[in-house]
Chain A
Amino acid sequence: MADLRSEFVGIKSPNPFWLASAPPTDKEYNVRRAYEAGWGGVVWKTLGEEGPPVVNVNGPRYGAIFGADRRLLGLNNIELITDRPLQQNLREIKAVKRDYPDRALIVSLMVPCEEDAWKAILPVVEETGADGIELNFGCPHGMAERGMGSAVGQVPEYIEMVTRWCKQNTRMPVIVKLTPNITDVRYPAQAAKRGGADAVSLINTINSITSVNLDNFAPEPTIDGKGSHGGYCGPAVKPIAMNMVAEIARSPETAGLPMSGIGGITTWRDAAEFMSLGCGNVQVCTAAMTYGFKVVQEMISGLGQWMDEKGHASIDDVVGRAVPNVRDWQHLNLNHVTKARISQDDCIKCGRCFAACEDTSHQAISMSADRVFEVMDDECVACNLCVNVCPVEGCITMETLEPGMVDERTGQVVSAEHGDWTTHPNNPSVVAAE
């Protein structure tokens, strides 16, 4: 069996699956149960400064988007940081860490943007024996209105400043959690790196309104007829998160900066994809909130099976493997030609490929009177839409034309040479350069 042990910025855990800072990690009771279920680490739900804790709404905190059979695809929340007293959280963290020394325990923090506030909390956290801290610069609701959370994460200079304060005032590794509610994630990541962060974690939740109640015209979750934007997470946000991870991984300024991947990770496969894009480990929340702590067992067994099948001995063999293949569009090979192929043995004759191609794409699929659907190579631009709308996995595939073959659509012989936009005759920049 592959070695799933993880060491992330010096923090060891038996597997790369951590629970993200969120309701599942709000107290000792849950965290003990999570460790017993097999989670490699936990990021304790965000602590605030000493004093009266924040309060939460007393109506619904969550809204959701569903797929077929009420499968939860996206979750939105308007919950704040921990609403329990600081000292109680610290006592519990210390007790849990003492009993589970082999598991990672990170403490998420959010205090006002003043150096004294950070100086006050860092020593008391360090005293618990926690393995590290994560700076919550991401929460998009409530706390941001008070100058914390994403209000900090949206200003790179603040990120750099607070990160530096933390690095100067603690020996613990500092992970900076990034908000996706920005225009270009590379700038906050660079700021974290300049401030001395050991790692970044991303993404935090996305500003969202999940639905509107059409009886009273109020956004949901609705509190006394009103609603606030909340933070969106779950499987629906995974593509957005992975792109942000990849942008940081392949940016020269931040390449090599350790990343903890967060965003809709539900299965071992999601985790492997994040790690291949450069994440040293992953954090999970919505999957646990949907299915309970036990889901980690499938993640552990699945990742191990896949690594064994592919011959990856350790986590390090996987991390970052996909990064070199993430490129700008202009470098994609325009001489690579594919055509859709419909397997008549697998086709169930629903006609969705035909409707999609005929109505919305390139009119490249024919339909016979007895419902045989075939691709017309002289029209097919290989857009892949038919593959994506076909309900039968593997029924429609893309076949690569070998060099020397003729693309019937263009009449051109397929070239063996790489040819992209940077050298294409239609590119005005190329002409200008000549």
Chain B
Amino acid sequence: MGNSPHTDGIVAGRISADAVADNFSDLHPPLDDHEALVAADRCYFCYDAPCQTACPTSIDIPLFIRQIATGTAESAAETIFEQNILGGMCARVCPTETLCEEVCVREVAEGKPVLIGQLQRYATDKVMAQGKHPFTRATATGKSVAVVGAGPAGLSAAHRLAMLGHEVEVYDARPKGGGLNEFGIAAYKSVDGFAQAEVDWLLQIGGIDMKYDQRLGEGLTLEYLQGRHDAVFLGVGLGGVNALRAEGEDKEGVRDAVDFIAELRQADDLTTLPVGRRVVVIGGGMTAIDAAVQSKMLGAQDVTVAYRRDKSAMGASEFEQVLATSHGVRIEFNAQPVRVLGNGKVTGVEFARTTSTGGELTPTGETFEIPADQVFKAIGQTLTTDAGLTVERGKIAVNETGRTSVLGIWAGGDCASGGDDLTVTAVAEGRDAAMDIHATLMGEGA
């Protein structure tokens, strides 16, 4: 095709197929048996372990690591899956450096935590590669539950409910399941179709009927679901994208980062995926980093993440920031977009320099421009439908077990209040809501 990183405009094939394949290979290659034993040996088997406390799904980490160390990775996987049925994906995408591994006593002591995430992947991969599903369903309860959204929260809830003996129908707006695992996260964190393989593996529990291409609010209504089922769980995520509220954001070449990532995740051949020569990503979260790094991996020449506040306020973890900068992405802090430049097609973004000490965002009066032929907006997502439920700070209001303002309807994951937009938190919320649904339904029956 003759394109290179220096070709102007938004074009495909900037680097060779081999280079793309190399860039999008596994971020952390899996541990082999010996590496896993060495890593597991470092665990101190702490009392009331800080790592377990830090895990949103409360996985018994010391126990599963000891099970790996004694050559029983299958038992280790069961320990993980009991708490987190998406333990395989969480092993890949969890920001362990701010969760379990941050509080590992060996991180505190030596700056080198036990490789908890990679050990979790070792155990879960082993079992999933065997195609084994460690759980069986309880006696049928005769109850039926609707789960809306086949992302981490919905899948977690559906699995737990099916395991407890309920019949589950899962509705999802997309043509396949997985939610952000399939459409949202960076490709190099979930290679070889892992997200779909995980959904298929999870469904082996049985009793879960998947219904795709059904979007809540577009034909599918809460009333219908309530009439058909004994309970409803909503895990619909955040489908909308915040506007820049900067002049010119409708110019050609400006796009939502989540759409770019979804297209990238679904592309069969990444060398056909176009990307700009000079890319500006506006935002400071994981999505901004994922869009920026993947742009660079596709061969963009210059990629800048522009964030309006300072480094300490950035939503993306330190690990993600280093990942970005080590791939040649530049992070511009204290840069607030003022207008998108260009005559029809974007040519750059004008920013106002800010100060944000003490949380207060103040323009300094200085402005500057960053040239761009592609701009990605990654400044947060919004709820697309509240389905008539009480909303609290833009999310469906829930209590600690996921109950919404309407009896019989639970919610969890990114769409619900209280979480922190992490996969692992969504899994925990789905599981906990399922337990509450079960207790409620069986309480009624008793």
Contacts and interface: CB of A to CB of B under 8 A. Distances in A.
B106 A68 contact: no
Nearest to A355: B47
A330 B42 CA distance: 40
A56 B181 CA distance: 60
18 contacts: A68-B38, A68-B41, A68-B42, A69-B41, A70-B37, A348-B106, A349-B105, A349-B108, A350-B44, A350-B47, A350-B105, A351-B48, A351-B49, A352-B47, A354-B47, A355-B47, A367-B47, A367-B48
Contacts of B50: 349, 371
A348 B49 CA distance: 12
Given A371-B50, A392-B109, A352 B41 contact: no
Contacts of B109: 348, 392
Interface of B: 37-38, 41-42, 44-50, 105-106, 108-109
A391 B41 contact: no
A391 B108 contact: no
A46 B167 CA distance: 75
A85 B49 CA distance: 61
B114 to A, nearest CB: 11
Contacts of B45: 352
A352 B46 contact: yes
Contacts of A371: 48, 50
Q: How large is the interface on A (under 10, 10 to 19, 20 to 34, 35 or more residues)?
A: 10 to 19
Contacts of A392: 109
A99 B41 CA distance: 47
Nearest to B106: A348
A355 B48 CA distance: 9
Contacts of B38: 68-69
B119 to A, nearest CB: 15
A351 B106 contact: no
A351 B47 CA distance: 5
B41 A350 contact: no
B34 to A, nearest CB: 8
Contacts of A68: 38, 41-42
Contacts of A70: 37
Interface string A328-354: 000000000000000000001111101
A421 to B, nearest CB: 35
B44 A391 contact: yes
A107 to B, nearest CB: 42
A355 B45 CA distance: 10
B35 to A, nearest CB: 11
A352 B44 contact: yes
A392 B50 CA distance: 17
Interface in A343-400: 348-352, 354-355, 367, 371, 391-392
A327 B42 CA distance: 38
A110 to B, nearest CB: 40
A60 B217 CA distance: 71
Contacts of A354: 47
A6 B409 CA distance: 85
A367 B109 CA distance: 19
Given A68-B41, A69-B38, A69-B41, A348 B47 contact: no
Contacts of A69: 37-38, 41
A351 B46 contact: yes
B54 to A, nearest CB: 12
A348 B105 contact: yes
Interface in A46-73: 68-70
Contacts of B48: 351, 367, 371
A65 to B, nearest CB: 14
Nearest to A351: B47
A433 B179 CA distance: 85
Nearest to B108: A348
A367 B42 CA distance: 23
B60 to A, nearest CB: 15
Given A352-B45, A352-B47, 12 more contacts: A69-B37, A348-B105, A348-B106, A348-B109, A349-B46, A349-B108, A350-B47, A351-B46, A351-B49, A352-B44, A367-B48, A371-B50
A371 B47 CA distance: 10
A337 to B, nearest CB: 27
Contacts of B42: 68
A371 B49 CA distance: 10
A211 B23 CA distance: 46
A-B pairs, 9 with minimum CB distance: A351-B47, A68-B41, A355-B47, A348-B109, A348-B105, A350-B46, A350-B105, A350-B44, A69-B38
B38 to A, nearest CB: 5
Contacts of B106: 348
Contacts of A351: 46-49
A69 B69 CA distance: 10
A391 B41 CA distance: 12
B43 to A, nearest CB: 10
B109 to A, nearest CB: 4
Contacts of A348: 105-106, 108-109
Contacts of B41: 68-69
A424 to B, nearest CB: 36
A369 to B, nearest CB: 10
Contacts of A350: 44, 46-47, 105
B189 to A, nearest CB: 29
A188 to B, nearest CB: 39
Contacts of B37: 69-70
A405 to B, nearest CB: 31
Most buried by B among A69, A70, A350, A355: A350
A70 B49 CA distance: 26
Nearest to B39: A69
A392 B105 CA distance: 11
B24 to A, nearest CB: 33
Nearest to A354: B47
A352 B105 CA distance: 11
Nearest to B110: A348
Contacts of A355: 47
Interface string A68-82: 111000000000000
A168 B89 CA distance: 78
Contacts of A391: 44
